Amino acid sequence: MTKSEKVDFTIRTLQELYPTIPVPLEHKDPYTLLIAVLMSAQSTDVRVNLITPLLFAKADNPYDMIKLSIDEIREIIKPVGLSPMKAKGIYGLSKILVEKYDGVVPKEIELLEEFPSVGHKTASVVVSQAFGIPAFPIDTHIHRLMYRWGFTNGKNVVQTEKDAKRLFPRELWNDLHLQIIWYGREYSPARGWNLEKDIITKTIGRKKVLEDYYKLKKTR
């Protein structure tokens, strides 16, 4: 297969598997999505979805959020981990939204990245999922699969994002970002990986990845 054929095969397979694409983090607007994505750092979507309703019952907008103290926020979100940093970030970005943006979450990645505890990936998720603006946030699943599929060298997420945006059509970025995440979780995880179930990697995977997989399998 040529690189172009591999890309086409990947897109077709993902579209067949995920014709409708659920958004992993529950939210009702750009602000609650921003908070949920911030909370998801080094945590699981399942855990975040259990905690955000507790937080949003008290404050689901920046005006109410800054009425809480950082300690109050921290106590609520403690189960998701890294609560001291995340609580400061939630309070800090809420304060900026109120003082600078009239409580409205901006649509520009560059502006979102200026908020405390908001990095490029978080900003990219918000603009893509809340506003429908094409972006390609790279999480661990996408980074892993782009390497397994031979679409990037795997050196860092910055390079992986550049390669993803270069290879895939811009109008598909937002769908593909979520489709690849779900595919990585269900068919191509980091642990307990079964290549026989991973049709994309089995069909187009990087030669070294496939060789290493079968070598490891023989030793078990």
Task: Give the active site residues.
Answer: 121, 139
Q: Which of 78, 81, 55 is nearest to 68 (CA)?
A: 55
Q: What is the DSSP letter of 132?
A: -
Please state, in angstroms and rounded to a whole number, the distance separating the CA atoms of residues 206 and 151: 8
Token pair for 96: 């900026």
Q: How far apart are the first and last CA of the chain?
A: 31
Please state, in angstroms and rounded to a whole number, the distance separating the CA atoms of residues 77 and 211: 43
Please state, in angstroms and rounded to a whole number, the distance separating the CA atoms of residues 212 and 205: 11
